[in-house]
Amino acid sequence: MKKIKESKMIYESIKIPENLEYKVNNALRTNKSRFYINKVVTVCSSVCLLFILLLNVNPSFANAVNGIPVIGKITSIFTIREYFKEDDTEIINVKEPAIITNNKDVEEKINNIIANKIKDLEKESELSVDEIKKEIDYTDRKGSIYSKVNVRIDYEIKYNQNNILSFVLIKEEGINTTSKDLYTYNFNLETGNEITLEDLLGNNYEEIINKEIKNQIAEREAKDKNQLFFNKNDNIDNYFKGISKNQNFYINENENPVVVFNKYEIAPGYMGIQEFEIKDEEK
C-alpha cells in the first residue's frame, strides 16, 4: 500500500506543540477559563463553517490552503442529483454522487468521470427496461405474475482518508429477480489520477493477487458445498484464469484492495458478486 503508507507518514509527521496539553488542562481548572473556552468553541464553529464555504466558492482561497497539513486534505462526497420515477410498469431510482475538495482541477476531473458513467448506466438501463417490457408484453398486464421493472443506481464510499478516495457505483435492474453490478473507482486526491493495483502491491501484483484468489476459491469450496466456481473442466470459458488489466477493485477500511467480480464472471449466477480481499503481508 505505497500511496496509503506515504500519506499516513506525512499526516503522522505533523508536530503538536509540546505545551499544548498543559495549556488546555490549565485552562480547564478555572470557571473563568471555561467561560472563555465556550466562547472560543462558538467562534471556532463559525470560523469552520466560513472556512468550508470559502473553500468551495473561492478558488484562490482553496489554492492558498492546499499546502497546509490536514486542512489540505478536506474532501467530502455527497448526492448531487437524485431522480425517482414510478409508474404502472417501472420504478427508477438514481443517485449521482459528486466530491468537494480544495483542489478544483481534481474535483472537476473526478466529477466529470462520475457524471459520464452515471449517464452511461442510465442509458443502458433504459434499453434493458425496454427489452424486458417487450419480452413480457406490458400492453396487457391484467392477471400478470410480473412485478414492475426496478432500476436502482447508487453509490457507496469504501475509503476516504489520506488523500485517497475509493467508492463504488451500484447498478441494480430486473423484475422479480434483480441483477446487480459494481463499478469501482479509486482516486489519488492530490493528482486526480486513478490508483492501480500495481500502485498498491508493486510490480508483481498480478502474481500476488492470482495466487491469493485461487487459494480463497479453494477454501470457500472446501468449507461450503454450495460455494461453486467455474473451473476449466466446465464447458464454460468464465473460470478464473487471472485478473484482467482493468480489474474491478476497491480499497477497504483495512487499507487493502478488494478484487470484485460481478455476477457470472467467475461463478454461476446464484453466487452473485464475488469479492476477494488481498491482505498486505507487510502489515
pLDDT tens digits for 6-20?
555 554 554 544 544
Mean pLDDT for 196-216 is 97
Mean pLDDT for 127-133 is 85
The per-residue pLDDT of the chain, averaged, comes to 80
The H-or-E segment that residue 267 falls in is none
**pLDDT on residue 131:** 85
**pLDDT on residue 8:** 56
| Structural domains present in the chain | 2-71 (no CATH), 75-277 (3.30.565.40)
Q: Between 39 and 98, whose confidence is greater?
A: 98
**pLDDT on residue 275:** 98
* SS3 of residue 181 by DSSP: strand
- Residue pair 63/101 in contact (Cβ under 8 Å)? The answer is no
Give the pLDDT confidence of 213-261 residue by residue, as tens digits: 999 999 999 999 999 999 988 888 889 999 999 999 999 999 999 999 9
Give the pLDDT confidence of 148-174 residue by residue, as tens digits: 889 999 999 999 999 999 999 999 998
**pLDDT on residue 174:** 86
CB within 8 A of 73, min separation 6: which ones?
11, 162, 163, 189
Total residue length of the chain: 283
- Residue pair 132/144 in contact (Cβ under 8 Å)? The answer is no
